[in-house]
Amino acid sequence: MATRNPENIRTVALVGHGGSGKTALAEAIAFNTGLTTRMGKVEDGNTVSDFGNEEQKRQISINSSLISIDHAGRNIYVIDCPGYADFIGELRSSMRVVDSALVVISGVHGVEVQTEKAWEFGEDMHIPMAFYISKMERENADFERTLREIQDYLSDKAVPLFLPVGKEAAFKGVVDVLRQKAYMYKGDGSKEFTETDVPSDLADYVTSSREALVERIVEADDELMMRYLEGEQLSIEELVPALRKSVLSRSLFPVLPGASTSNVGVCQLLDAIAEVLPSPLEMPPRKALKGDSEVMVEPDPAGKFSALCFKIMVDPYVGKLSFIRVFSGSASSENPLYNLSRGEDERVSAFKLMRGKESVDTKDVVVGDIVAIPKLHSTVVGDTLGVKGMDFIYPEIQFAKPVFSVAVRPRSRADEDKLANALNKMLEEDRTLHFEKNPETNDSVLSGMGDLHIDVMLSKIKERYGVELDTETPKVPYRETIKKPSKAQGKYKKQTGGRGQYGDVHIEFVPLPRGEGFLFEDKIVGGAVPKSYIPAVEKGLREAMQKGVLAGYPSVDFKASLFFGSYHDVDSSEMAFKIAASMAFKKGMVEASPVLLEPIMNVEVVVPEDYLGDVMGDFNGRRGKIMGIDSRGRLQVVKAQVPLAEMFRYAIILRSMTSGRGNFTMEFSHYEEVPHDIAKKIIAEAEVQEDED
């Protein structure tokens, strides 16, 4: 396949709420551009972009999927992004590398929560965007209502570029507002349409819509604005470049209607992508990091090659595929690349133009290309590829922190042996997944963006690597501390036939402020305990404090002062003083009013105002403290501090409570004393567990 001209490249992400019709649109695009000979269906599991087993089984998009197509002399890269909150990492990484986004909104359901999230990402990344109102053939679909929602909730700069002809089952065509032409379809899914005049019943609507559109377009060009205000008629040849300029500057967001499954309006949408959305050469320079300073990288085809890896996919036949977007220069598969983030050479066997799970090899890539490279050994998501001698890297992709965790346990010894490899592969592929071995609770904790995310990952691990994992709620890493000072003697004396053991220490235990940890103080005078044994005393205390006296949790926030003791010239040893110190610890902590501590989390919940009362009431039931409420546009931000023990299933609860419209972040804040009645239950459970062990 010949090298593409950057002027003719378009990169667009299909984004929006789950179920809004993104995959159906991707399927219609593939069909209309000749990539397929018939349109598949999500329900039948035979679409180009949803090709994974889990996607076909659940009938939802889980991974972003790249489709490379040609239309009207343009090379178009379409990324079909998942719409469910649990897979938001795929959405964010895809939007990071495209030059535009098409927000797909159901004409039946209107603007939904993930529509808002996708719009938010587009705002953050400052990319041109357009809207596609889908499912126009469905019952209760309403173009004007959905348009008002877009203008009210997202942007008042959203202006129709096309209008629908007919409603619901009678939707059979679209009108080009600028050219004032209608395109009528049979509605049977075929590509054929006929160009006709605007239906008479739509004439006034089209005229007023054209005026609104032209007014918005000419705002991007002072000369056109003056001529327009003077009453001069502007030609299509003048308006289209100004429209492109308006879209690029985000002063206008085109809106188009369509019905993907019956293939009405998709050809016009493709024309709009080719004609209106920007090429990589029109995009502003990309920010990169050069040491501690920032540099701007121009999208220059003649510049040095640079690209960002935004996705890793494991193909059962090809192996690991690294997806990259080229931001400058060009490269050939005959030459090696250099991973600038890791300082390693990467050998390129081929560049692959992806079409779902299928691909076509190409030898060369240029600015704007989005391709996959097989079997790069060191490259991970977020890495910058270039050539040796370059001294900048692109900022890493910022992913949301996991909000839902489970403790995982291999079902068999064989599963345990394979687990590390399986998890490493999954973590490389999905950057919103996190795994850690908690040394305090001994749990193996797998964290992600929600219960569906974790469930899908566990299914993939089982399918790909044959590892079966059981799950349970993670243990809370409680800690123990003391509330008052105490003194205790620990004396270890053991006589045998030969040399005995002798160690004697007197230690004072004093509470420290929360978060201070542990402090050891040597207050011995006169050699009551020889200097050589004092490190053993501290070591004995540090080992003993790993298992507190209440429920076996680590003890923290106290000072232990060794102030007196005795020793034996022959029988004393480091071991004897270690044991004596642990004996003093157990006695002294019991007498110092020990209490249980629990981790408290800073939680920030973002919800529409309608759900504010429910969220606040729910926090009260979770022993939470509301720290403040802020407004963010139409949304309310609730800041609270809540015990970790109350937050393990919060991702599921919040989704249910807010109909999926709420999201939250959480990070550790501090430890606080557990209320007495709850502490009693925790201690009792720990005693039962110890008896069982």
From residue 79, how far is each of 24, 248, 251, 286, 318 by CA, in Å?
13, 19, 24, 20, 20
Q: Mean pLDDT across the stretch 166-182? A: 96
- Which residue(s) pair with 361 in the sheet? 352
Per-residue confidence band for 497, with pLDDT thresholds at 50, 70 and 90 = low
Q: Are residues 257 and 304 in the same domain?
A: no
Q: What mean pLDDT comes out for the span 154-169?
A: 96
Task: Find the distance separating the first CA and the last CA of the chain, reported in whole Å.
Answer: 66
Q: pLDDT, tens digit, for every residue of 373-405?
A: 999 999 999 999 999 999 999 999 999 888 899
Average pLDDT of span 602-620 = 92
The C-alpha torsion from 70 through 71 and 72 to 76, rounded to 10°, is -70
Does residue 49 belong to any structural domain of this protein? yes
Domain total in the chain: 5
486 pLDDT above the threshold of 60: yes
With the CA atoms of 379, 380, 383 and 388 taken in that order, what torsion angle do they form, in degrees rounded to the nearest 10? Answer: -10
Four-residue CA torsion sign, 422, 428, 434, 435 = positive
CB atoms within 10 A of CB 173: 24
Residue 1's pLDDT band (boundaries 50, 70, 90)? very low
Q: Where are the alpha helices (DSSP H) in 381-467?
A: 413-429, 451-465
Q: Give percent of the chain with pLDDT exceeding 90.
A: 77
Q: Residue 71 carries which side chain, given as an amino acid letter?
A: H
Q: Based on the fold, state whether residues 249 and 315 are members of the same structural domain.
A: no
> pLDDT for 276-317, tens place per residue?
999 999 999 999 999 889 999 999 999 999 999 999 998 777
User: What is the number of residues in the chain?
Assistant: 693
Clarify whether residues 138 and 273 are in a common domain: yes
Do 445 and 494 lie in a common domain? no
The answer to whether the CB of 507 falls within 8 A of the CB of 588 is yes
Q: Is the pLDDT of residue 53 over 80?
A: no
Which residue from 496, 446, 499 is spatially nearest to 473, judged by alpha carbons?
Answer: 446
What residues make up the domain containing 81? 6-282
326 and 445 co-located in one domain: no
Q: 250 pairs with which residues across the strands?
A: none
Instruction: Extract the tokens encoding 194.
Output: 């006929």
The last residue of a domain, from among 592, 610, 642: 592
Average pLDDT over residues 644-666: 89
**Co-location of 515 and 534 in the same domain:** yes
Residues 483 and 572 in one domain: yes
Mean pLDDT value across residues 500-528: 95
Q: Please check whether residue 399 lies inside any domain of the structure.
A: no
- Could you tell me which residues come within 8 angstroms of residue 305 by beta carbon, excluding any fewer than 6 positions away? 326, 328, 329, 330, 331, 337, 385, 386, 387
Per-residue pLDDT, 61: 85
Close Cβ partners of 691 (under 8 Å, ≥ 6 residues apart): none
Identify whether 391 is part of a domain. Answer: no
What's the rounded mean pLDDT across residues 120-139? 96
Per-residue pLDDT tens digits for 233-292: 999 999 999 999 999 999 999 999 999 999 999 999 999 999 999 999 999 999 999 988
Q: Which amino acid is at 420?
A: A
Q: Per-residue pLDDT tens for 321-345?
A: 999 999 999 999 999 999 999 999 9
Does 396 map to a domain?
no
Q: Which of 539, 563, 592 is the last residue of a domain?
A: 592
CATH label of the domain that carries residue 659 = 3.30.70.240
More confident of the two residues 175 and 319 = 175
Residue 400 in any domain: the answer is no
Residue 139 has pLDDT above 90, yes or no: yes
Judge whether 602 and 666 are in contact, CB under 8 Å. yes
- On whether both 256 and 292 belong to a single domain, the answer is no
Q: Which pLDDT score is estimated for 2?
A: 54
Phi, psi of 412 (to 5 degrees): -140, 170
- In terms of Cβ atoms closer than 10 Å to its own Cβ (0-12, 13-18, 19+), residue 427 is middle
pLDDT of the residue at 693: 64
**Per-residue pLDDT reduced to its tens digit, 543-555:** 999 999 999 999 9
How would you classify residue 665: left for phi > 0, otherwise alpha for psi between -120 and 50, otherwise beta? beta
Q: What are phi and psi of 390, to 5 degrees?
A: -75, 150
- Mind giving me the DSSP string for 460-501? HHHHHH---EEEEPPPP--EEEESS-EEEEEEEEE--SSS-E
Shared-domain flag, residues 496 and 611: no
Comparing CA positions, the residue from 101, 231, 266, 255 lying closest to residue 178 is 255
Report yes or no on 31 lying in a domain. Answer: yes
Instruction: Say which CATH number the domain at 464 has.
Output: 3.30.70.870
Sequence-separated (6 or more) residues with CB below 8 Å from residue 413: none
CA atoms within 13 A on the CB side of 242: 21
Helix (H) or strand (E) holding 344: strand 344-346
SS3 394: coil
Structure tokens at 296: 């701007």
The CATH number of whichever domain residue 550 belongs to comes to 3.30.230.10
Residue 171, exposed/middle/buried by CB under 10 A (0-12, 13-18, 19+)? buried
As a whole number, mean pLDDT of residues 102-121 equals 92
- With a cut of 90, say whether residue 495 has pLDDT above it: no
Question: What confidence tens digit (pLDDT) does each residue in 6-51 have?
Answer: 999 999 999 999 889 999 999 999 999 999 988 888 877 788 887 7
Q: Where a domain ends, among 418, 447, 472? A: 472
What is the reported pLDDT for 245? 95
How confident is residue 76, by pLDDT bands cut at 50, 70 and 90? Answer: very high
What's the rounded Cα separation, in Å, for the pair 187 and 523? 90
Amino acid at 176: D
587 three-state secondary structure: helix
Q: What is the mean pLDDT of residues 166-190?
A: 94
Could you tell me the two tokens for 168? 């619901």
- 1 falls within a domain: no
- Clarify whether residues 68 and 198 are in a common domain: yes
Q: Is 453 left (phi over 0), alpha (psi -120 to 50) or beta?
A: alpha
| Same domain membership, residue 307 and residue 252 | no
Question: Quick one: tokens of 592?
Answer: 């110092």
Helix, strand, coil content of the chain in percent (nearest 5): 30, 30, 35
- DSSP structure string for 619-662: HHHTT-EEEEEEEETTEEEEEEEEEGGG-TTHHHHHHHHTTT--
604/514 same-domain check: no
Model confidence pLDDT, tens digit, residues 419-442: 888 998 899 889 999 999 988 888
